[in-house]
Amino acid sequence: MTDIPTPASQTTQSEKRKGYWATVARDGQKMGFWFILPTMLLLLFIVVFPLLMQLYLSVTWWTPLEGIPWYRAWEVFSWGENYWFLLTDPRLWGALWRTVVIMGIAVPIQFFLGMALAYLFVDKFPGRKIFYSIMLTPMMVVPAVVGLMFFLLFQGTGPVNDHLGLPADFSWLTDVNRAMISVIIADIWQWTPLMFLILLAGMLGVPSDQLLAARLLGGSNWQNFLKIVLPRMKTVIIIALVLRAVECFKIFDLIFIMTKGGPGVQTETISLFLYKQTFGELEWAYVAAIGLTILFVLSVIAAKGLSYMAKKNG
């Protein structure tokens, strides 16, 4: 017999080949493990290790000035004192309250301004593109620079007082209430464009013939806005609000430049407070405890929120 390949031998060959690939796939799983191992180790090192270190430090009195390396912090073990202290720390709660106040005032104003602007920009008008670009500029300025701008604007002898005809000793940034207002104004100035951008995108996503249909069927603009546009924009609105609320909760640069949290601690937010505790007071163990607590609280909220959304969708 010659070695002309018969159909039978072809089958065996292809079966052999199949077997080969099956082996590769099996080996592949093992090999895959080795491939991702470096990344896993890296992640372990940058996520899990600091977390454990933080947990360890948070139950001690350790600070960088303690005179002992951090791993020997057990020598100054404090049990849960740090956690007890943070529950009763008026400065922490004050900072938290002020953060919520800034968020509670700035974000809704940004939302309504953004919505109104988006509504204006839905229709085409001459110069729309130019205004659009101008509108978006504040968002692109580095927050620290915005802080500096408003720091200068709100000086006693600055342009704001000058224009409003207020005396030079009418101070914005050193007055308890007005410092807060100044900071909020700066935040609104910088972040309304983002709100505007997101909401405009959402508004443009509402099909125009649906709007037209509503108009033909006799709805007034306002009614149509409430009944057609807003419901269609629900998801976008939630995204915009959550995004801004989260960002606003972390507000730091603006306030750091404008007031340094002053006068006293009157504009100190949670980020600023943490910063001062870390680099000013060097209370690292305490900060570790606060950080872990925030992480815990946020995780609970996020988990709740996710399960709520899942329930609603499912």
Partner 1 sequence: MNAIEIRDAVKSYPGFTLGPINMEVAQGEFFGIFGPPSTGKTSILKLILGLLDPDEGQVVLSNRDAANLDVAERDISMVFQNLALFPHMSGRENIIFPLTERGAPEREISERLDFVSEVLHVSHILHKNPSQMSGGERQRIALGRAFAADSRAMLLDEPIAALDARLREEMRVELKRLQRENNQTFVYVSHDEEEVMAISDRVAVVIDGKIAQIGTPDDVYSRPNSKAVAEVIGSPPMNFFEGRISDDGTSFISAAFGAPCPLPDPAPVGAAVTLGVRPEDIWLQGDGFGVPVTVSSIEPLGGYTIVNATLGDQIVKLRAPGQIDLAEGAQITARFDARRLHLFAEDGGRL
- Which residues in this chain contact partner 1 in the complex, by CB under 8 A? 207, 209-210, 212-220, 223, 227-228, 231-232
Residue 224 CB, nearest approach to partner 1 (Å)? 8
Contact predicate 70/62, CB 8 Å: yes
The angle subtended at Cα 49 by Cα 245 and Cα 73, nearest 5°, is: 105
Q: Least distance in Å: CB of 207 to partner 1?
A: 7
Peptide bond into 69 cis (omega under 30): no
Residue 214 or 289 with smaller CB distance to partner 1: 214
Contacts (Cβ under 8 Å, ≥6 apart) of 144: 253, 254, 256, 257
Q: Which two tokens stand for residue 114?
A: 């953004």
Q: Which residue has the tokens 């505790």?
A: 277
d(CA 86, CA 111): 33
Q: How far apart are CA 121 and CA 142, in angstroms?
A: 25
> Nearest distance from residue 123's CB to partner 1, in Å?
13
If the CB atoms of residues 202 and 261 are measured against partner 1, the closer one turns out to be: 202
- Give SS3 for 276: helix
CA distance 214 to 265: 52
Q: Minimum Å distance from CB 4 to partner 1?
A: 47
In the complex, what is the shortest distance from the CB of residue 299 to partner 1, in angstroms, rounded to a whole number? 33
- 12 vs 210, beta carbon nearer partner 1: 210
